[in-house]
Amino acid sequence: MEQTLHSPEASQDTLKSMPMAKLETHLKSSPDGLTQAEAARRLAADGPNEIPEKKTNALLKFLSYFWGPIPWMIEVAVILSGVVRHWPDFFIILLLLVANATIGFWEERQAGNAIEALKAKLATKARVKRDGKWVTPPARELVAGDVIRLRLGDIVPADARLLDGDEVSVDQSALTGESLPTSRKSGEAVFSGSIVRRGEIGALVYATGGKTYFGKTAELVETAVTVSHFQKAVLKIGDYLIMLAVALVVVIIAVSLYRGNPILTTLQFALVLTVAAIPVAMPTVLSVTMAVGARLLAKKQAIVSKLVAIEELAGVDVLCADKTGTLTQNKLTLGDPFCLDKATPDDVVLAGALASREENDDTIDLAVLGGLKNKDALKPYKVTHFQPFDPVHKRTEATVTGADGKSFKVTKGAPQVILDLAAPTPAAKAAVTKAVDDFAARGFRALGVARAEGDGKWTLLGVLPLFDPPRVDAKATVETARKMGVTIKMVTGDALAIARETASTLGMGANILDGATLGDAKTNETPAVARSIEQADGFAQVFPEHKFHIVDVLQKHGHIVGMTGDGVNDAPALKKADCGIAVSGATDAARAAASIVLTTPGLSVIIDAIKESRKIFQRMNSYAMYRIAETLRVLIFMTLAILIFNFYPLTAVMIVMLALLNDGAILSIAYDNVHYRNAPEAWNMRLVLGIATVLGCVGPIAAFGLFYLGDRVFHIDRSHLQTMMYLMLSVAGHLTIFQTRTRGPWWSIRPARILLIAVFGTQTVATLIAVYGAGLVAPLGWGWALVVWGYALAWFLATDPVKLLAYWVLDPATKKPVKPSPKPAAGAIAQPA
């Protein structure tokens, strides 16, 4: 039997559309349902009606943070420290290694579990016919072939086909993005996770668990895995430093063996050189920079659940915005009525309102009542009888007594039904039909309204249009995003007409693609279709797999994609996107899948978040340049000193102190003053590595200049010369940050006070250690310390023009005049790749 139920030819799309009699035969069921014994057999064969979940071992996840180029480098340093018994180095480097892993693991742990949130949205109980009786087992025990009963307010527990009965209204907004409830008749399919808004009917289950539309959505969330551009950049930096370090270590080991140096001495040197080559604190500093940025974004009502999303948001150039509830208010609203003859707009709205009931909590009734300009307009009237909407008559009707004591009737409903009821003149009928068509072309839903005096004939008053209006700030947000280099594309489950009207209102363009023409997550689009997706202003009538596919195609064509959404249907695309943004009021599933969660309505907060993220990117870019330059400075200087002079210019303790003081203070760059620019950011590794290499090569020239003066001119002994070189590398190293933090001259952007305090605070400590020794180094004295400071400052001033020249050569944008930003806090610093 299992082979029959799950045969390849019986796909879920086939089961959704095959004739009911054939489906009952296929499922070996009937409107009387299954026996309990048969249901138990199917449950054992097919598994429970829940989303399958892949569990990840927390320990293995934590250990994965010790795997990768930079962790490998740090681990080599730890091993070498232990081999040569440099225990202070061993414990300090091990501490940094564990700290990096712990921070990364904790970030991901805090991000939440999207699958758990999706599971929580499923109904927990279901009314099922077993052995001819209605029972309420847990929804997870449903199987294909079960007959269930759906009533007002129920969450549909599995994909099912409706049995005989009146049509029902189903809200599928969380699954498909459609803003309005849809009608479903006997034989039609309803999907797991949708909500019954009107009516009651039986249904035959044809798909459960992971085979439902809901389950496919969860599966997409599971498969949506992206490596952030931040992670790629860190890997590239790691690869660059690894190749350089390996090459220099090989050269020096070969020279050491040729010179006949002891193996232990060679290992000791390898340790010193490895420690010098490894930016051990780089992942930590960059994570802290993003964490500080996350706190700043939180103040702007944007909660960051995955820190790398900050760097991704800075580079977003395409933002796929869910229409319903994001660009629009997700609130059905009354438009300007179409009126016939002597009826005024107020007359039409009043009649429609009298034919509505607030206590029914019906979205259409509430929209019509909300259209009353005078909230007390209904007080003079008394409704003596009310006939609610039913699928047969397709209208509501009320008998009303006015203030004058006269009785009349009002009705509202489907325009065609009201036209047939009122039988207006051919001219009036043509006018109403044209108005309804015009409303439909704009994506509006239309309601006909009529009135009858006493028991007299019905008179058609007009037509009420209903629509989901854009948010007040949406148009301005779209325009601001465009000026910042971000293209917003609308994505909605609504009809093409609704999407076009909304996009037109917001000034987004009218090139809207039909989702039915797009492939799913497993489709490889032709270049022409991929190009049409890139050029489209929006997408209508899309399902979850379409949203996922749209993001995937845009990413494959070089775009960094942001995706906003609020429903279960958005969860796969939110996770797949480079930066998924759950908007205010989003479902738990959307929040868990997203990287950023907004706590205030609308998109305007995203603009603030983009500006802040671009500032954070500038800080990270500055630090990456600084860290690479410093690594090169120390690595090249030490290598050449050992090869040429057979002299260790720094001790291992000095190198550890350099790392601790420099990287400890540089954490303050997370608070530095920076300028963002009105264009998406990206890691331009050619520029980052190029500028860093130039600065990293100038540094050793300055260091050897001081080494020559100390050794050959002033004849300082080797131990004191080591202290002098330590202070030189420490002071000159920290001055480098003032060069890497600006594209222009070092004084072009005022440093933050905390950065100045941190830099000069740590250099005061380094100077005191060099002057007095503190049992760690040979004491240098104040005279030589001041000489080192003066020498370092002179080289700092001389190096800045070299940096400007390097930018001019490596970055074509530098040669173009830069337009001033409209605000003091806006400007140009980093150039995208």
> Token pair for residue 728?
């030189």
The residues, any chain, with a CB within 8 Å of residue 305's CB and separated by 6 or more, are 110, 111, 112, 591, 594, 595, 596, 597
> Token pair for residue 558?
């070089």
Cα–Cα distance for residue pair 82/75, rounded to 1 Å: 11
Name the residue type at position 566. D
The residues, any chain, with a CB within 8 Å of residue 755's CB and separated by 6 or more, are 668, 669, 671, 672, 737
3-state helix, strand, coil in the chain (%, to 5): 55, 15, 30
- The residue behind tokens 């549909």 is 156
Residue spans of alpha helices (H) in 536-682: 544-556, 571-576, 588-593, 604-645, 652-666
From the list 171, 322, 566, 811, the catalytic residue is: 322
- CA separation (Å) from 486 to 228, 300, 489, 598, 689? 19, 20, 10, 18, 27
> Token pair for residue 328?
């629009």
- The residue behind tokens 């291992």 is 652
Listing from the earlier edge strand, what are the strands of the sheet with 195-198?
182-184, 168-171, 195-198
Alpha carbon 283 to chain centroid, angstroms: 21
- CA separation (Å) from 346 to 373, 563, 564, 579? 8, 41, 38, 46
Whether the CB-CB separation of 243 and 205 falls below 8 Å is answered with no
- The residue behind tokens 């008179």 is 459
Whether the CB-CB separation of 468 and 326 falls below 8 Å is answered with no
Of the candidates 379, 456, 343, 460, the one whose C-alpha atom is nearest the C-alpha of residue 413 is 460
Of the candidates 669, 709, 631, 685, the one whose C-alpha atom is nearest the C-alpha of residue 833 is 685
DSSP 514: E
Consecutive H or E run containing 207: strand 201-207
> Token pair for residue 696?
């990293």
- The residue behind tokens 């921070």 is 103
Strand boundaries in 705-815, DSSP class E: none
SS3 361: coil
Start-to-end CA distance of the chain, whole Å, equals 58
Of the candidates 726, 727, 746, 724, the one whose C-alpha atom is nearest the C-alpha of residue 737 is 746
Cα–Cα distance for residue pair 584/135, rounded to 1 Å: 38
The residues, any chain, with a CB within 8 Å of residue 345's CB and separated by 6 or more, are 336, 337, 339, 462
Residue 361: active-site member: no
Strand boundaries in 254-406, DSSP class E: 302-304, 318-322, 333-334, 338-339, 382-387, 395-401
Cα–Cα distance for residue pair 27/303, rounded to 1 Å: 47
Name the residue type at position 345. P
Cα–Cα distance for residue pair 412/400, rounded to 1 Å: 14
Catalytic site positions: 322
